[in-house]
Structure 1
Amino acid sequence: MSRNRKPLTLGEKLRIIEEAEKRNGATKASIARDLNIPESSLKTILAKKDSILLNAAKFGLNRKAAKDGKYAAMEKALVEWLRQARSSGIARRLAGMERKQLDKKLSVLDAMHYSASAWDAVTPETIANSFRHCGFNRSGACSTSEAALPVDDEPEFGSLELPGSFADYVGADDDVAVCSEVSLDDIIETVRPDTAGTSDEEEMDDAAEASMSVPT
């Protein structure tokens, strides 16, 4: 077997990973022989599967080598996410993209399932952290009570040179009655049926019937 092998692309490595996972019961030696690669290369590729998945998503399938980025912590988090999402078939779909065999028949129901599974993978801690990074802090909840609002911080009012404070003018109509007080008798009267009106209507109907002439 020649030592002058050309470097494999990330897409080719993904195909090797997919083939090895399909033949779970086969030995690495037989898999490497069928794929025409050294067994040591197969072991290295399988050991670096998470890194290959991440680099394929980040740099594309035609890249042969990937440089480490400046944000190591973020890349580590992405690798952890890839481990959790491995069961969703990412490696198989990326390898299918390289072979131009990606299934393009995606129904609306399939799209709904993909969206639901992606949302279900988001933990409550991730949601809370996202809101915290955006400035939403539950411990610093603001109060909406009127007593907590400053009423004397009005520079325009101070320039008017009027007697009294700004708070006096704001609360000048606090004690103004805007409706009359309703007694208990008034409340009962509003819900009591109007028997008097009903009696008058019945008397008028009786008088009208009596005035009608009965034919003989």
Structure 2
Amino acid sequence: MSQNKRKVFSIEEKSHIIWRLENGESNSEIAKECGVSHSTISTIWKNRDKIKVLFENNSLKLKRARASEHKVIEDALLTWFKHQRTNNVPISGPILQQKANDFARLMGKENFECSSSWVQRFRARHNIVAGKVCGEAAGVPEGVSEEWLSHKWPALCEGYTPEEIFNADETGLFYNLTPDKTLKFKGEECKGGKLFKTRITVLVAANMTGSCKRKLLVIGKAKKPRCFKNIQSLPVTYKNNTRSWMTSQIFEKWLLDKCPAHPVVSNLKCIKLVFLPPNVTSVLQPMDQGVIKALKTQYRKLQVLQMIQNIENSKPINSLSVLDAILMISEAWEKVTQTTIANCFRHAGFNDLSSSQAEDDDDIPLARLIQFTDEDDNVPLAELVTQLQRFTASEQTIQIAEFVGIDDSVAVCALATEEEILAEAESNNRNTDEENEDLQNPEEQFQPTTISEALNAVTVLQKFVAFNDQFDSDDAHVLRSMKRKMQRIFETGLKKKQTKMTDYIKK
């Protein structure tokens, strides 16, 4: 009988094996190197989806993934722990025990009594180790951005090129707000009320040179909005929670400024995580130096254009769905130029120290930092709003700056109470599809476009292009290509609908 001890891999080790398999290495080669059988590697590959989830949840040292018997309590405790860790509050095992018991009492589970062994298993599942909790922002004096830039920044950027340095920030967006409602909702934090149903959170990220703009992260309320039915892909990454806010769970894949929803992420590979000093967002945050303003300006222009089109087509003026908002915010992000992003990084003080051209943009007006792409973008938003007011016979004076920035101060995360943390954990551990459907705007009755409607639309576009000299042969070619693909889809549908002779013979 073999005396060899059975080898057990951690989640981190299994993830590395999966990565090697995905990159073309053979099962036999990895099995030989690791000293295990082929079937062991095959089992790891078979369970790759579950292992990837555990890896993304930072459960790196686990040998076996055992589900917790009290999942809601565990999820609530983990969220609470991340809030405390973000604020550099030291948490011991006994404190975790007591807090777990507190959540159990709130749930009415009088028979639950958290033991030290339960806490040990909890810490193992979530890779929580003993040690001092710390973050880059902890030792930075509040409000001293100049000191941070002169003392911290040179050391932090050493060894990295401007293309490798990214900044990200989130912002709230009232995606269905008409210009005439800006005064009414000025200063709205969006914790409830009418706008609560039509707000999303958008996370914006790009590198110093503006050469790499990350796909936008959009956070809505519903897990499966009605308008997403049969959608194959989205131009953004979509997440959800009951308040459309950034949460610790969503943040695990993103690196942002210091706030309660942003825990200190450990075990990062080839990544240096840095939190900007607190309360200096308006000074040090590149995304807040004009990038988000450029994004929202473009979104509001697209929004107003859509409203004018709705009026001309006898549709409700503000009938935007979450899908409409996602498509428009993605298009707006495409229009934010590389130059704008690079300008905003420099304006925040993040100069490329390896370059002799260290420009000082402190005295340059924000409007000059923002540059758009096409000639069409030179049409001022104010002019479009004026056109909209003519259609609606509105005489109200609209402040364009307020319309663009009406949601700049909207809360995008919150320090949740124990009751709110528990409610969120309970919501995440039950089937919420129906609940999420009910969260949608009652006016948002979305009907997917049929293939016949799409074919008619592209035919109309072909005629429009043929009579308009602003389009060229390339544009016409794109439309023809789209039409051919649609025709193939239409023909495939017809074949499926064809009846046989036997269909008419009664049994």
- For normalisation by structure 2, the TM-score amounts to 0.17
Q: Which has the higher strand share?
A: 2
Q: Which has the higher helix share?
A: 1
Point out the structure with max Rg over C-alpha: 1
